[in-house]
Amino acid sequence: MTIPIITLITDFGLKDSYVSEIKGVILSISPACLIVDITHQIEKFNIRMGGFLLASASKYFPENTVHVGVVDPGVGTERRSIIIETMQSYLVGPDNGLLFLAAKNQRVRRIHEITNKELMSSNISNTFHGRDIFAHAAAHLAKGVLPAEFGPPIQGIVEPAFAKVKKKGNKLIGEVLHIDGFGNVITNIEEKDVKARITGNIVKVELPKAELRLEFCKAYSEVETGKTLAIVGGHGLLEISINRGNAADEHQIEVGDKISTSFSS
């Protein structure tokens, strides 16, 4: 028998006890599961960053992992609580766009709203559904409770704007999804779209505060230290990086910036 895995991704940070309260609740319901942190350092209320990192991380976990996402500025309002069963895993969290990218990548099997009060805390805080609703749902899923037992099936979920790339012939127009701890700038432009257009090894990039003509590389170290390059990083997405440097700082690039790329030899 395999041990069920539950991952957590939140904007709670690590300085408070919130994350451990979620873990305590999960272990009280499902003592034999394994809890893995994706990250708790999503910028406060930044659904884009949370959604991107959840999609990135979740593809590396075993089948049937339960992923809990809590970046939830609308907690306590009418936004729905949902479980998405994909071809690969379960996604649990608020219906605010956070789970969208992961669900799309993994292909959706069914979606249920969480309404069954017997599968929640008996005392639901208005400020902390991560602990009082989502942790309970994840622990029950890990114990084998079926999505249909949590509430009625639903069709659509909230679709965020940040997942769309415009294609204009040779041009790809997207945006900056994330800046990682190394200052690498990760866009929403996918490898396959780059590969379909690239002819030589030059990527031209237009950003709000920078215009760059970059070498398209396979390793950071193909260019000399301090030089900016374009690369498809570990996420399968186009990145702008500096070999041993911080591309976001150097070129004043921020999350959410529009980016337009074209290609030449």
User: Which chain residues interact with a copy of itself by CB under 8 A?
Assistant: 2-3, 5, 7, 12-21, 23-25, 27-28, 31-32, 34-41, 44-45, 53-54, 56-62, 65, 73-77, 125-128, 131, 178, 180-182, 218-222, 231, 233-234, 244
> Which residues make Cβ contacts (< 8 Å) with residue 11, sequence separation at least 6?
40, 41, 42, 43, 44, 45, 46, 50, 70, 71
* Cβ proximity to a copy of itself, 111 vs 237, nearer residue: 237
Name the β-bridge partners of 167.
Answer: 172
Shortest distance, CB of residue 28 to a copy of itself, whole angstroms? Answer: 5
Helix (H) or strand (E) holding 20: helix 18-29
Q: Which two tokens stand for residue 141?
A: 């899923």
Q: Which is nearer to a copy of itself, 34 or 148 (CB)?
A: 34
Nearest approach, Cβ of residue 93 and a copy of itself (Å): 16
- What's the closest the beta carbon of residue 76 comes to a copy of itself, in angstroms? 3
Contact 186/239 with Cβ under 8 angstroms?
Answer: yes
CA triple 220-185-253, angle to 5 deg: 125
Residue whose CB is less far from a copy of itself, 73 or 153? 73
Number of residues assigned to the chain: 265
Distance in Å, CB of 159 to a copy of itself, minimum? 22
Residue 82 CB, nearest distance to a copy of itself (Å)?
A: 19
Strand partners, 262: 204
Q: How far is the CB of 259 from a copy of itself (least distance, A)?
A: 19
Q: What is the DSSP letter of 137?
A: H
Tokens 């942190």 locate to 37
Beta bridge partners of 211: 206
Q: What is the largest CA-CA distance in the chain?
A: 63
CB closer to a copy of itself, 62 vs 208: 62
Tell me whether residue 48 or residue 178 sits nearer to a copy of itself (CB atom): 178
**Which C-beta is closer to a copy of itself: that of 168 or that of 224?**
224
